[in-house]
C-alpha cells in the first residue's frame, strides 16, 4: 500500500488493511474504530475505492502466485492417488477426471493464447502496411506538384 499515505489519513489506511483482513465490513470497521456506515461511505469515495481495489488486486495476485507454486504438488498428489491400487475406485476415477479436465483447459488456453498472438501480429502488420501506403501516397502527391 505504498503511496496511499499522501492521499489518506492513518484511519483510511488502517481501514484498507482491515477490509482485506476481516470477513465483513462490520468487523473491519470495529477493528479500525469507525462506524460501519463511515466505512461504507469511504468505499463510495473514488480515491479510497480505487486504493482498496488496488490493494485487493495485490493480495489476490499473491494468492494466485501461491496457487501456481502449489500446483506441482497438487498434480503429484492427484497422480499418486490415481494410480494407488488401495484408493477407492471412485476416488481414483475422480483424480483421473480432474487431471484430464485440467489438461484440456490448459490446452484450450494455449490455443487461445496462440490465436491472440497471431491476431496481434496480423493487426500490427496491417497497421504498418497502412502507414507505409499512406506515406507512399503523400510522397506521390508531393512529387506531382
25, 19 Cβ separation under 8 angstroms:
yes
**Of 69, 92, 112, which closes a domain?**
69
* Domain end marker among 11, 45, 69: 69
The CA-based angle 47-53-59, given to 5 degrees, is 140
> Quick one: 7 and 41 in the same domain?
yes
Say which residue, 143 or 109, is predicted with more confidence: 109
**63 and 3 in a common domain:** yes
One domain, residues 3 and 58: yes
Residues 88 and 143 in one domain: yes
pLDDT per position as a tens digit, 110-143: 999 999 999 999 999 888 887 777 777 666 665 6
- The pLDDT, as a whole number, for residue 34 is 95
Choose one of 13, 39, 69: the last residue of a domain. 69
Structural domain containing residue 60:
1-69
pLDDT confidence bin for 86, thresholds 50/70/90: very high
pTM: 0.51
Total tally of structural domains belonging to the chain: 2
Residues sharing a CB contact under 8 Å with residue 98, sequence separation 6 or more, in sequence order: 78
Band of the pLDDT at 1, cuts 50, 70, 90? very low
Q: Domain check: are 96 and 38 in the same one?
A: no
The pLDDT value given to residue 38: 95
Helix 25-32 to helix 10-21 angle (10° resolution) is 140
Task: Tell me, yes or no, whether 104 lies in a domain.
Answer: yes
Q: Are residues 99 and 142 in the same domain?
A: yes
134 and 106 within one domain: yes
Chain segment 35-76, per-residue pLDDT in tens? 999 999 999 999 999 999 999 999 999 988 998 899 999 999
Amino acid at each position: 500500500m505504498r503511496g496511499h499515505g499522501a492521499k489518506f489519513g492513518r484511519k483510511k489506511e488502517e481501514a484498507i488493511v482491515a477490509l482485506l483482513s476481516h470477513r465483513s465490513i462490520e468487523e473491519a470497521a470495529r477493528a479500525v474504530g469507525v462506524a460501519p456506515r463511515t466505512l461504507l461511505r469511504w468505499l463510495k469515495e473514488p480515491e479510497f475505492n480505487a486504493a482498496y481495489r488496488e490493494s485487493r488486486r495485490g493480495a489476490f495476485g499473491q494468492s494466485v502466485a501461491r496457487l501456481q507454486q502449489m500446483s506441482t504438488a497438487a498434480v503429484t498428489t492427484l497422480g499418486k492417488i490415481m494410480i494407488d491400487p488401495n484408493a477407492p475406485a471412485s476416488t481414483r476415477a475422480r483424480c483421473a477426471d480432474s487431471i484430464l479436465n485440467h489438461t484440456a483447459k490448459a490446452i484450450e488456453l494455449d490455443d487461445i493464447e496462440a490465436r491472440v498472438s497471431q491476431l496481434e501480429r496480423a493487426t500490427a502488420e496491417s497497421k504498418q502496411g497502412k502507414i507505409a501506403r499512406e506515406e507512399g501516397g503523400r510522397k506521390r502527391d508531393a512529387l506531382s506538384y
